[in-house]
Amino acid sequence: MQASESMNHQHDMHGLSSVPNIPTPIYSEKKLFKLTLTSKINPPPLSKIHQWVLHLETAEGKPIEQAHVQVYGGMPMHKHGFPTHPQVTQSLGKGNYLIDGIKFSMPGHWEIWLNVQVGKQRDKAIVKLNIS
Amino acid sequence: MKRFFILVYMPILFVMNASSAAQIKSEQETAWTESQMKQLNYLWIKNLAPLGSDPSNSVANEKTAIDFGKKIFFDPSFSINGKISCSSCHKPELYFTDGLPRSIGRVKTRSNAPTLLGAAYSPWFFWDGRADSQWAQALGPLEHVAEHAGNRTQYAKIIWNKREYKKAYEKLFGPMPRLSDKKRFPDNAGPKGDEQVRHQWSQMSAQDQVQITTIFANLGKVLAAYQRTLKPEAARFDAYVEALIAQDSKKANKLFNAEEVAGLKLFIGKAMCVICHNGPLLSTYEFKNIGLPVVKELGVEQGRFRALREVTLSEFNCLGKYSSAKESDCAELRFMKTMRDETMGAFKIPTLRNVAKTAPYMHAGQFETLSEVLKHYQKRPITRVGHTDLLVTDLSDNDLKKLEAFLMTLTSQN
């Protein structure tokens, strides 16, 4: 699964409506970075810790090797975070980073928040997902 | 004559209209949307996945371990006074609880005994999650001074001296050391317990301590193997969901009355219970602070926050030497949430399966009845420590009655 930035769709309180996950890279808020987030298990499992791969590029499409990435997230509609503390555990090269510790404890709308720092440049991105 | 007919039939027509209107209303009240059906399906026990392996416990699914663990579970000799078994507080006839606010082992403990049905599905054990496997959990009460209050060499020797136990043990784990050597292995030694027990332990060689602790850990592993077999069966709620999925409204209407349907709608809707009580076992097994009343004898409890250090340092955790797991198998421990804000005062979300039969409630039995529990959610009191995870809901007294009616449908035969 790849993730989409857009979520302009109607949903019920528990987030079980269908929100498409468009396999397009997203831009960070200040448009400094281009990110593609891919679950290593497709579709992402429920109630099981698993890994994702973040592919990080400059806005012009050049892979970024030396980034510091913090990962948070949760279900904003339910006002709770991830049940775990996900982290980037490995730089895989060519702008790819392994994120481990992602766990979705229930179906619905989840967000993965990425704080990216490259040198003195900082930006953040929010990836919205519908997990079912 | 014509007028007579009109006079006679008008009330009949009126009655028919009222009746069909009531029927439509009733159908609306019991109807479920596609989105709601998805949620109900996710709560259905039929969707409880088979229990996976436990990489930290190499005998988790072994029949010999299950049978051996069951015998130990009910054997009171694994205690300081020969009177306390696991089943003293986890009674099968009470859905593996004991009906007490706080359990009584050697003395009164700090905790309410949670049900063991389905417990193996949780990644964390004890109310504060200070153990990260069911086998590590099983070891806690065995040597806790308030519970079984025994010690490691005592337990190893019970196995060594009972032919049936020794045979099962050696089949699973290989030969035991010569425990008859009292010089090397005192009768009562362990790192916990009274001063004499700890002193005897300190006199043992490090190698012998490891040998005994390995036997002790294996004792936990066979107990876990047995407890993994304890799962809740389908309840009336599950039969109702099954009937809805089969689109058998006649059967569904027989299974659930209007109040129970309304309660279930609140449960997955306005009351937002499913935010924590989700999945076929009706728990996400996370830790939440719901601002429970402080039990005077226990003081203000830090819950999960305090347990983080304990589970990290435990010699019996997933990454420890008594675990058979690889580092990559220990993701729950490696990526556990440690933020103070999200762990302070938090306790594990319990299953709601058989909740009507497992009173009293909460980690220290703070509430005697389900209606008291529901009142707490309605009031949403201020916490004494940390912040509350309870969301603002607008539940009326009538809503609470409906929710309680629904909770009564979660009872299974065992």
Structure ipTM: 0.84
Q: Given this model, what pLDDT does residue A2 score?
A: 46
One domain for residues B293 and B251: yes
One domain for residues B245 and B222: no
Q: Looking at the domain assignment, is residue B98 inside a domain?
A: yes
> Does residue A110 come out as left (phi exceeding 0), alpha (psi in the -120 to 50 range) or beta?
beta
Measured between beta carbons, the chain B residues lying within 8 angstroms of A112 are none
Q: Looking at the domain assignment, is residue B390 inside a domain?
A: yes
Into how many domains does chain B fold?
A: 2
Q: Looking at the domain assignment, is residue B11 inside a domain?
A: no
Q: Given this model, what pLDDT does residue B392 score?
A: 83
Q: Given this model, what pLDDT does residue B104 score?
A: 97
Residues of chain B above pLDDT 90, percent: 90
Please list the pLDDT of chain A residue by residue as tens digits (132 residues). 444 433 333 333 333 333 334 456 899 999 999 999 999 998 899 999 999 999 999 999 999 999 999 999 999 888 889 999 999 999 999 999 999 999 999 888 999 999 999 999 999 999 999 888
Measured between beta carbons, the chain B residues lying within 8 angstroms of A83 are 284-286, 337
Which domain does B291 fall in, by range? 33-48+233-303+344-410
Q: Given this model, what pLDDT does residue B372 score?
A: 98
- What are phi and psi for residue A84, nearest 5 degrees? -125, 180
Residue A84, chain B, CB below 8 Å: the answer is: yes
CATH of the domain at B103: 1.10.760.10
Helix axes B2-30, B258-268, angle to 10 degrees: 40
One domain for residues B210 and B239: no
Residues B281 and B42: their CA atoms lie apart, in Å, by: 10
Q: Given this model, what pLDDT does residue B237 score?
A: 98
Measured between beta carbons, the chain B residues lying within 8 angstroms of A101 are 331, 334-335
Q: Looking at the domain assignment, is residue B324 inside a domain?
A: no
- DSSP state letters, B129-161: --BSSHHHHHHHHHH-TTTT---HHHHHHHHHH
CB contact under 8 A, B335 and A86: yes
One domain for residues B106 and B132: yes
Domain boundary among B178, B194, B227: B227
Q: Which helix (H) or strand (E) holds B41?
A: helix B34-43
Digit-coded pLDDT (tens) for B376-396:
999 999 999 998 999 888 999
Q: Given this model, what pLDDT does residue B22 score?
A: 59
Low-confidence ranges of chain B (pLDDT < 70): 1-29, 414
Q: Looking at the domain assignment, is residue B91 inside a domain?
A: yes
- The single residue listed with the structure tokens 């497992």 is B358
One domain for residues B256 and B208: no
One domain for residues B357 and B385: yes
Q: Given this model, what pLDDT does residue B28 score?
A: 56
Measured between beta carbons, the chain A residues lying within 8 angstroms of B389 are 80
Nearest to B21 by CA among B13, B247, B398, B263: B13
Distance in Å, alpha carbon of B206 to nearest chain A alpha carbon = 35
Q: Looking at the domain assignment, is residue B70 inside a domain?
A: yes
Q: Looking at the domain assignment, is residue B285 inside a domain?
A: yes
Q: Given this model, what pLDDT does residue B10 score?
A: 40
One domain for residues B194 and B255: no
One domain for residues B285 and B387: yes
One domain for residues B129 and B164: yes
* Count of A-B CB contacts under 8 Å: 65
One domain for residues B103 and B186: yes
Domain boundary among B227, B246, B281: B227
Q: Given this model, what pLDDT does residue A19 score?
A: 35
One domain for residues B148 and B192: yes
Query: What residue ranges define each of the domains in chain A, with the CATH number in brackets?
Result: 26-131 (2.60.40.10)
Residue B37, chain A, CB below 8 Å: the answer is: no
pTM tops 0.95: no
Tell me: cis bond preceding B114? Omega within 30 of 0 counts: no
Q: Looking at the domain assignment, is residue B7 inside a domain?
A: no
The dihedral built from the CA positions of residue B191, B193, B195 and B199, taken in this order, carries a sign that is negative
Domain boundary among B227, B261, B289: B227
Strand partners, B131: B125
Edge-to-edge, what's the strand order for the sheet holding A26-27? A26-27, A33-39, A50-58, A96-102, A87-93
One domain for residues B72 and B177: yes
